[in-house]
Amino acid sequence: MLEKALVGSRGYWRWLLVLGAVMVLGGIAYLRQFAFGLGVTGLSRDVTWGLYIAQFTFLVGVAASAVMVVLPYYLHDFKTFGKLTILGEFLAISAVTMCMLFIFVDMGQPTRVLNVMLYPTPHSLMFWDMVSLMGYLVLNTVISHVTLAAERNAVAPPRWIKPIIILSIPWAVSIHTVTAFLYSGLAARPFWMTAILAPRFLASAFSAGPALLILFCLVLRRITRFDAGREPIQRLAIIVTYAMLINVFFVLMELFTALYSNIPEDAEHFKFLYVGLAGNSTLVPWMWTSAALSVAALVLLVNPKTRHNETTLAAACVAVFVGLWIEKGLGLIIAGFEPSVLGKVTVYTPTLPEVLISLGIYAFGLALITLFFKIALSVRGQVAA
Amino acid sequence: MGEDRRRFLKLAGLTALCAAGKGSLARLAGAETTAAGGAAKQVRWAMVVDPRKCLEKEGCTACIDACNHAHNVPSFDNPKHEVKWIWKEPFADAFPDQDARYVDPALTAKPALVFCNHCDNPPCVRVCPTQATWKRGDGVVMMDWHRCIGCRYCMAACPYGSRSFNWEDPRPHIKDLNPDFPTRTKGVVEKCTFCDERLDKGQPPACVAACPEKAMIFGDLNDPDSEVRRLLRSRFALRRRASLGTQPEVFYLV
């Protein structure tokens, strides 16, 4: 089936070339980091995790969101999502791959990373995160390959794949729950030590992921002969709307608890994010942009007129995705370290190599999605003429 | 109380890990602590700091210098890349839950000496995915610089900021190399180990030996006649962020 990715239009190759160039830049930046150490990043003794770990966290959500098309289709026999499940699974595969790469580039001693398997440590949540991510990658690879092969051969998928698909549903929830547990079990970091972190992660994942899927469908309709159809997109839009409402609700609950109780060590992190702390307000404009995008997205999504209009729906999806990326891919991780356990606020600004490495990984993920979608659409004979 | 807590943690772990099978359960129990069994005979190292004595000599850094030299601790110009095992921290930052508002500012303005607390219930050990940091039977929280993958999860978990990461190669930044102690490579975490290399030879930690005021007292908590136990019996002592349940084994006399 892989050979289908090797033939394509000029636009297809040009797009892959652009992504390849970004990957090369990221690779060069990584070589620099590999030689010098993580000191090439903006991280410090006080802010020990930053852009990489935040991207990992955000992308685990994107990966988990595949369940939002798989669950209705397989558990509720919701046929409308029939064409979308494979896209959701491919999105999951590339997102999980990006997650692993982001973890890898964050390691101080990348050549020793297999120590996690050599000395399995069940009392470390990082061990369980590795297990759940690996498992999810295997599940989705097997499921997408088997179902697509069956589709190509115009036969029904083998019966044994059904329980594996069912298993992938709780597994998707587990990857983001375990990822939240990485943070929410740390007594040292009150900003993360909240029982609502995992539910909040899931809510944001189930809005950002399907929003991205809607955008993919709209793009694919333009550049290929694949048309997801109006109905599935509208159904996805309803999922995005509810999940986004729940996410904003959860964030407001966090804000209330921290600010009304006014326990300094809980409130300070939110102050850092929204008004600045000890003269450091690097994230303040970002966080208010995120809040504005979330409100704008909700206005467009809740209103049936703008939700039914695919142009305004696309705008809403971009707002959801960017707003949540700021919330989770910037604010959530960095604010855990601001102030530090010793009360210090240290400026963290990602450096050029750090940004290039991150962009390189995103380019790699996009290239994977491109190849996967190309294969899926070629099998269905829906590639653009 | 301590026993209940341990049982609760084990139970909680058991529930969460039922899928992992027997092998991992044994590991969990093993990692929790080894102190319960041989508590009577086992040594339990601890440190008592007497801040009044420590502050007698203004600007004294004898313990810090001794530690830095003994352990080849690098010194970086960039504060973001700082590596430190023992250092001075403003009182309010070292003890954020002690409200010392009306205490003579002359006392609270002075820094407290801070280093790894060698917690009895160390969160860094709990989170480390490779057991590169672990707690010995005598309570010393150790660090294996050859196994550490540099994920820095322990640094996120430590409530005391006691851990440092080598953001770049530390070797060119070691001022006065001690050939008897290993240097570290870039990309690994390091911290105070109560001078395990000196404990093995029956010597007290380098900082304790270097202190001209004898403001740091090191000893065995399990020995009721030790000097640390004698001091803790007669004087009230603070532990940093004791409410978190980490059970720090570094005590600050009031």
Q: Check residue B92 and give its pLDDT.
A: 87
Q: Which of residues 22-51 of A touch B (CB under 8 A)?
A: 36-39, 43-46, 48-49
State whether B66 and B184 are in the same domain.
Answer: yes
- Pairing label, strands B45-49, B250-253: parallel
CB distance A121–B149 less than 8 Å?
no
Q: How far is CA B50 from the centre of its chain?
A: 17
Our CA-based measurement puts residue B45 at a distance from the nearest CA of chain A, in whole angstroms, of: 24
Share of chain A above pLDDT 70, in %: 99
- Based on the structure, what is the number of domains in chain B? 2
The domains of chain A are located at 2-379
Q: Is the pLDDT of residue B16 over 60?
A: no
Q: What is the mean pLDDT of chain B?
A: 87
Domain coverage including residue B173: 42-253
pLDDT single digits (tens) A296-339:
999 999 999 999 999 999 999 999 999 999 999 999 999 999 99
What is the mean pLDDT of the segment spanning A250-255?
A: 95
**Cα A14 → chain centroid:** 25
User: Given an 8 Å threshold on Cβ–Cβ distance, is A346 in contact with B80?
Assistant: yes
Residue B3 pLDDT > 60, yes or no? no
Given this model, what pLDDT does residue B32 score?
44
pLDDT tens digit string along B240-253?
999 999 999 999 99
Domain shared by B19 and B55, yes or no: no
Exposure pattern of A161-196 as b/e (b: 16+ CB <10 Å)?
A: beeebeebbebbbbbbbbbbbbbbbbebbbbbebee
- CA-to-CA distance for A97 and B99, rounded, in angstroms? 48
Q: Which of B238, B198, B241 is nearest to B50 (CA)?
A: B238
| Cα–Cα distance, A193 to A204 (Å, whole number) | 18
Q: What fold, for A2-379?
A: Formate dehydrogenase/DMSO reductase fold (1.20.1630)
User: Does residue A289 belong to the interface with chain B, where contact is any CB pair within 8 Å?
Assistant: no
Give the per-residue pLDDT at B57. Answer: 79
Burial A263-272 (b: 16+ CB within 10 A, else e): eeebbbbbbb
Classify A243 in phi/psi space as left (phi over 0), alpha (psi -120 to 50) or beta: alpha
Give the pLDDT band of residue B38 (cuts 50, 70, 90). Answer: very low
Mean pLDDT of A284-298: 97
Band (A188; pLDDT cuts 50, 70, 90): very high
What residues of A are in contact with residue B79 (Cβ under 8 Å)? 44-45
* B37 occurs within a structural domain: no
Mean pLDDT of A116-142: 95
pLDDT for the residue B26? 45
Residue B104 has pLDDT above 90, yes or no: no
User: What pLDDT shows up at residue B13?
Assistant: 61
- Which pLDDT score is estimated for B58? 79
Least confident range of A43-57, B6-20, B25-39, B216-230 = B25-39
Q: Give the integer Cα–Cα distance in Å for A73 and A147.
A: 13
Which strands sit side by side in the sheet containing B237-238, from one edge to the other? B216-220, B45-49, B250-253, B237-238
pLDDT > 90: what percent of chain A?
88
For the cut 80, the answer to whether the pLDDT of residue A208 exceeds it is: yes
Chain centroid, CA A44 distance in Å: 25
Q: According to the model, what pLDDT value does residue A369 have?
A: 95
More confident call, A5 vs A303:
A303
Q: For position B15, what pLDDT does the model report?
A: 57
| Subunit contact A186:B156, Cβ cutoff 8 A | yes
CATH of the domain at B132: 3.30.70.20
pLDDT, tens digit, for every residue of A253-284?
Answer: 999 999 999 998 899 999 999 999 999 999 99
* B226 CA: distance to closest CA in chain A (Å): 32
Query: Is B96 a member of any domain?
Result: yes
Q: Both B208 and B90 in a single domain?
A: yes
Write the pLDDT tens digit of every residue in A81-98: 988 999 999 999 999 999
Q: Is residue B2 part of a domain?
A: yes
State residue B84's pLDDT score: 96
| Matching residue, tokens 């375990």 | A178
Looking at residue B90, the DSSP 8-state letter turns out to be E
Closest CB from B79, B168, B187 relative to A109: B187
pLDDT of residue B40: 52
The model's pTM is 0.90
Residues of B in contact with A38 (CB under 8 A): 150, 165, 167, 186-187
Looking at residue A384, what is its pLDDT? Answer: 55
Residue B27 sits in the same domain as residue B107:
no
Q: Are residues B55 and B9 in the same domain?
A: no
Q: Please answer yes or no on whether A130 and B161 come within 8 Å at the CB atom.
A: no
